[in-house]
Amino acid sequence: MDGLVVAVALLWVLVIALSIAVFALARQVGILYERIAPMGALITDAGPNVGETVTRLDLTALDGRAIAVGAPGPRSQLVFFLSPTCPVCKKLLPILSSVASAEKSWLDVVLASDGDVAEHRAFVTQRKLQSFPYVLSKELGMAFRVSRLPYAALIDGAGVVRAKGLINNREQLESLFNARDLGVASVQSYLGAAGTAHSH
C-alpha cells in the first residue's frame, strides 16, 4: 500500500513538472513569434523602383489576346514571372489562382516568361492556366531585371509599380497587396520604420 502511495505521489510530481515545462515552452514560443516579424516579398534593387512608372509594353499572349503591361486604366496588374522548370512556381500556381479569384474586382494577373513556345503551351495545358494571359517576352523580363524566379510586380492603374519582389509562398505574395495598402515599398521597410519609431 505504501508503495502505491509513493508511486501516485511520484506521478503527480511528474505531471506538475510536465505542466510547468509545457507552460514555459508555450511562453517561449509566444516570445519567439513576437520577435520574428512576418517576411514579405524579397524586394530587389534591380528594375523599376516602387513608385516609378513602368514603360508601357504591348504584348501578345500565347492565346492571341493583346496585353498592355503598364497601360493606364481602371485596373491594376500583377505580373507574375515563372518558368515550367521552376518547382516553386508550380507550387504557387494554385495560390495564385486563389488570389486572382479573390481580387478579381480590381486586379488582372498576367503570367510572364520566355523560351520555347511549344513548351509553354504544353505547360499551360498541363497546369490548366488558360484563364490567365500568358506572355513570352524577353523584353518584359529585362525591363524588370528578373534574375530569379518566381518574381512578381504589382502595377497600379496609372502604370506605377506599387510592390515587387521574389515570391516563395502565399504570405510573400499577399505581402505585395499589404505593401500597396500601407503605401510602402515593402512589408520589410514598413516593419523597419515601425521598429525605428519604437526605439526612439
CATH of the domain at 73: 3.40.30.10
Angstrom CA distances, 189 to 125, 179, 182, 195, stand at 39, 9, 11, 10
Segments of 39-75 assigned E as strands: 57-60, 66-69
Helix (H) or strand (E) holding 161: strand 161-166
Angstrom CA distances, 194 to 146, 172, 189, stand at 29, 19, 9
Expressed as residue numbers, the domain containing 6 is: 1-36
User: Measured between alpha carbons, how far is 184 from 190 in angstroms, rounded to an integer?
Assistant: 6
The per-residue pLDDT for 44 is 57
Angstrom CA distances, 76 to 1, 99, 114, 143, stand at 78, 13, 23, 18
The per-residue pLDDT for 184 is 62
The per-residue pLDDT for 161 is 94
Within this chain, do residues 65 and 12 fall inside the same structural domain, yes or no? Answer: no
**145 φ/ψ sector (left φ>0, alpha ψ -120 to 50, else beta):** left
In a domain, 147, yes or no: yes
The per-residue pLDDT for 193 is 45
In a domain, 152, yes or no: yes
Other beta carbons within 10 angstroms of residue 123's beta carbon come to 23
User: Measured between alpha carbons, how far is 102 from 89 in angstroms, rounded to an integer?
Assistant: 19
User: Measured between alpha carbons, how far is 66 from 72 in angstroms, rounded to an integer?
Assistant: 15
- Over residues 2-17, the pLDDT tens digits come to 778 888 888 999 999 9
The grid coordinates listed for 1 are: 500500500
The per-residue pLDDT for 116 is 95
In a domain, 75, yes or no: yes
Q: Helix (H, G, I), strand (E, B), or coil: what is residue 62?
A: coil
- This prediction's pTM: 0.72
In a domain, 1, yes or no: yes
Within this chain, do residues 82 and 3 fall inside the same structural domain, yes or no? Answer: no
Within this chain, do residues 110 and 180 fall inside the same structural domain, yes or no? Answer: yes
Within this chain, do residues 148 and 185 fall inside the same structural domain, yes or no? Answer: yes
In a domain, 2, yes or no: yes
Q: Which parts of the chain register pLDDT below 50?
A: 32-39, 187, 189-199
Within this chain, do residues 31 and 117 fall inside the same structural domain, yes or no? Answer: no
The per-residue pLDDT for 37 is 41
Within this chain, do residues 97 and 20 fall inside the same structural domain, yes or no? Answer: no
